[in-house]
Amino acid sequence: MNNSTMMHAVCQTEKQVFITVPGGKTAVVDVPGLDSTVADILEVVSLRTGIPTTALQLRHLKGVPLDNESIVPHDTDNFEAALRGGLAGGKGGFGAMLRALAKQNTGHKTKDFGACRDLNGRRLRHVNNDLKLKKWQEARERKVG
């Protein structure tokens, strides 16, 4: 085989795919042969991003996940490497509880804003207590003096 025939044979078995990696960037990965697995591609993505392969999952752009042992489908050139799993925790609902409480009309409005802070970061309760203390000292000085 001459050089151009070998080059042509290599180009037929090699394919480039575009993979959107976590973080939104697109990486170009060479699929070496027709029998490359999804795990092979995830290994390349892991080397480029530093994310372990156990935390990655390869998907079609439509969001359909691919099995790690399966052969890379050659009918498409675009894939997405997404993080496996989700965030640990509950469903939330605290915001819904707050909205429900806000809709309830209990008949009384708050008049105590002592827990709020002023523009300097001090609690209003402390500022008001300082003002009361100054007034008390002035009154005491007038009474004594």
So what's the pLDDT on residue 13?
54
Q: What pTM value is reported for the model?
A: 0.48
CA distance 16 to 28: 6
106 burial type by CB count under 10 A (0-12 exposed, 13-18 middle, 19+ buried): exposed
Residue-range domain boundaries for the chain: 3-83, 114-145
Please report which helix (H) or strand (E) contains residue 81, including its range: strand 78-83
Helix intervals (H) in the chain: 3-13, 38-49, 94-103, 124-144
What averages of pLDDT result for each successive group of 10 residues across the chain (145 residues)?
43 68 79 76 84 84 79 76 72 80 78 90 95 96 87
Q: What is the reported pLDDT for 44?
A: 83
Dist. CA 95–CA 117, nearest whole Å: 23
User: Would you say domain 3-83 falls under CATH 3.40.50.720?
Assistant: no
